[in-house]
Amino acid sequence: MLTNYPDSELVFKSWLDVRFVTSQLSSRPVETGIRQAILGTAWLLALTVLISFPLGVGAALYLEEYASDNWFNRIIETNIRNLAGVPSIIYGMLGLTVFVRTSEGVTGGRSIVSGALTLSLLILPIIIISAREALRAVPSSLREASYGLGATRWQTLSRQLLPSALPGILTGAILGLSRAIGETAPLFGIAATFINTDPTGPGSRFTVLPMQIYAWTGQPDELFRFNASAAIIVLMALLLAMNSAAIYLRNRAVNQRV
């Protein structure tokens, strides 16, 4: 067929290229990109880490090192394990009611803050459970040696237990974030499906990769399906990188114990 058009050129074009990653969202499938979705995902993850990591590690330290074995603390531990299995859509409904509507004056409504608070509730049980397991994996001889040298409980905790358990704690936190970044249900009533301005702060409106993928798959123009496929590849690459980091930290912790 090309022989009939000697001056023609055959060009192969990929939907996944630098332009697709750096361009803003558009109503035209051949011009749209995922820049706003990537920036929104980055803002959301950063704020989620700042909220959930200190709270999760602090709760794990209290339950593992300070809390006494009584009925109240046992109820808390049981509820934490149960919360880890709650469907993510429940957290989305809770976030929409509490953070978007009830606390709109504080959070700014449908903002990155509301999304981060919702995802923090989602992954907080995972971080607490993984941090407690990491603390339990520290040999008891390390505690005994520290106490034998006259160290206080806080000195033992901050200088011996936490550094030894940190790889395991980070592994659990990264796996929790991997779950959060792939979730769409908790953000249905919080994130926008189309926004063509970059988020500039915690109070900005935003979209994320899972929401953008969902929006594109529902478009009547079939060309948007190619955009969704390219965005799925980007999301999978991000999840693979985060899971690889978790595996690296876990193997590093095992090698250090050996």
Q: How far from the centroid of its chain's Cα atoms is residue 169's Cα?
A: 15
Name the band, by pLDDT with cuts 50, 70 and 90, for residue 136: confident
pLDDT score of 253 more than 70: no
CA separation, residue 3 to residues 11, 13, 66 (Å)? 16, 22, 81
| 113 φ, ψ (degrees, to nearest 5) | -60, -45
Q: What angle do CA 247, 163, 257 make, to 5 degrees?
A: 60
- In this model, does residue 233 exceed pLDDT 60? yes
What is the average pLDDT across 122-136?
89
Binned at pLDDT 50, 70 and 90, residue 6 comes out as: low
CA dist., res. 55 & res. 49, Å (int): 10
Name the more confident of 121 and 194: 121
Domain limits, the chain: 33-257
pLDDT for residue 257 is more than 80: no
pLDDT for 47: 92
**Tens digits of per-residue pLDDT, 70-106?**
888 888 888 888 888 888 888 888 888 888 888 878 8
- Of 108, 121, 101, 98, nearest to 206 by C-alpha is 108
- The residues, any chain, with a CB within 8 Å of residue 21's CB and separated by 6 or more, are 33, 34, 35, 38, 234
CATH architecture of the domain with residue range 33-257:
Orthogonal Bundle (1.10)
Q: How much is the average pLDDT of 156-166?
A: 84
